[in-house]
Amino acid sequence: MDDVTIANRALARIGGIQIQSFAVPGPSGHIVKATYDSVLEDLLGKYPWHFTKKTRAPLSRTAETPARWTYKFLLPPDRLAPPRAIYDSASGRRPFHDWEPEGNGILTSASALWADYQWRPSPSWWPSYFRELVTLAVAAELAGAVREDWQLRKSLRGECYGSEQFQGEGGQFAVAASLDAQAQPAQEIDGGHNALTTARFSPGDAREGWDW
């Protein structure tokens, strides 16, 4: 399963001519790859799909010595967006905030950093509901770009995103988002930290030294 397979599934939905590769697309033209990449980027960015998440990925430290900080780390080159969280420990449960961004990197005084972020996995990693979503969305755009059939495009977009009242979050998109949410484990709020219960046993507790 690869990107060309998904693109050909989309072309088949609209009765288009399938391609051998993105480099040699034949009669369908290079517009297929441009459309495919654009649609996929949009769908990946609209929702935090669980299969696009990388957790506790170590960041590479450069040899640079920043003026105000001690170290500089490079952001992951395969990220889709800024990291969702930064940690100063591989086993840390609470995000680390003592850093600042600079270009394609992060400045900090921590000697090591890890990140949670989204990346673009190959279709072999996608669950079936997301493959169907991408196929429908790409088919809809190719219906207009390749076949110039705007009624077909409207029909396919409705199947993909629902009617206008759903504002792009209905149809197969809603089905995929719901199934994806069920596939993710529940997350602890604030990494499991509870300020109320922690205060009971912290230094300076009012009961410290009491003879129970």
Complete DSSP assignment for the chain: --HHHHHHHHHHHTTPPP-S-SSS-GGG-THHHHHHHHHHHHHHHHS--GGGEEEEEEPEE-S---SSSSEEEEPPTTBSSS-SEEESSTT-SS----EEEETTEEEES-S--EEEEEB---GGGS-HHHHHHHHHHHHHHHHHHTS--HHHHHHHHHHHH-SGGGTT-SHHHHHHHHHHHHHSPPPPGGGG--HHHHHHTSTT-TTTT---
Please give the pLDDT value at position 29.
Answer: 84
| Residue 86 falls inside a structural domain | yes
- How many domains are there within the chain? 2
Same domain, residue pair 139 and 170: yes
| Residue 211 falls inside a structural domain | no
Same domain, residue pair 39 and 129: yes
Q: What is the pLDDT along the chain (212 residues), one digit of tens a residue?
A: 899 999 999 999 999 999 999 998 888 888 999 999 999 999 998 999 999 999 999 999 999 888 889 999 999 999 988 899 999 998 878 899 999 999 889 999 999 999 999 999 999 999 999 999 999 999 999 999 999 999 999 999 999 999 877 777 889 999 999 999 987 666 555 555 555 555 555 555 554 444 44
Same domain, residue pair 33 and 132: yes
Same domain, residue pair 10 and 112: no
pTM summary value: 0.77
Same domain, residue pair 28 and 59: no
Please give the pLDDT value at position 205.
Answer: 52
Same domain, residue pair 17 and 108: no
| Contact partners, residue 58, CB within 8 Å, separation at least 6 | 90, 112, 113, 114
| Residue 204 falls inside a structural domain | no
Domain that holds residue 98: 53-118
Please give the pLDDT value at position 190.
Answer: 55
Same domain, residue pair 100 and 150: no
| Residue 148 falls inside a structural domain | yes
Same domain, residue pair 73 and 60: yes
- Minimal CA–CA distance to 85: which of 113, 104, 107? 113
Please give the pLDDT value at position 185.
Answer: 63
The C-alpha angle 98, 119, 174, rounded to 5 degrees, equals 110
| Residue 206 falls inside a structural domain | no
Please give the pLDDT value at position 24.
Answer: 87
| Residue 66 falls inside a structural domain | yes
Same domain, residue pair 76 and 177: no
| Residue 97 falls inside a structural domain | yes
Same domain, residue pair 81 and 64: yes
Same domain, residue pair 111 and 134: no
Q: Which of residues 101, 118, 135 is at a domain's end?
A: 118
| Residue 201 falls inside a structural domain | no
Q: Which of residues 100, 118, 136 is at a domain's end?
A: 118
Same domain, residue pair 105 and 126: no
